[in-house]
A = this chain, B = another copy of it.
Amino acid sequence: MEIHAAQDGRPTTGEADAGLSLPVEPRPLATPEEAWRIAKSLNYRHIEGTVVAVAQDVETGEILMVGHMDPVAVVLTLTTGLAHYYSTSRRRIWLKGETSGHLQIVREFRTDCDGDAVVIKVFQIGAACHLGTRSCFTSPNSFHVKL
């Protein structure tokens, strides 16, 4: 293996430089043809032409966040195995974790009976919430009422 010297003098591998040391491997869930067939079948009736997308921890079942997907986000999620959403505020596709590194590695994808919502089951790297908690539903801003 070729060894590089990082700018701080610490020796690193090419792999570590590329930031690719993930605990599980992202793998495609569908071919591009299959992914487009699923994407075309959905009903993008939510804001900005999207479906609701719910991310659930594949190991614990905890609901991590609720976002939106447009057709391209659906296809990118299925063909890369990395969760992509459509930001209704920034009006663009985003790869979850693109700046934070907090990727979601997708293992399962389901659509609902009327095709306007999807559930993805994911390995969450780090925190799902931008406020630093694992789930957006356990953030410091959240209300929680339980019997």
Contacts and interface: CB of A to CB of B under 8 A. Distances in A.
Nearest to A62: B61
Contacts of A29: 145-147
Interface residues of A, number: 48
A130 B114 CA distance: 10
A136 B113 contact: yes
Contacts of A45: 47
A63 interface: yes
A93 interface: no
Interface of A: 27, 29-30, 34, 38, 41, 45-47, 52, 54, 56, 60-63, 65-66, 78, 81, 107-117, 119, 129-131, 133, 136-147
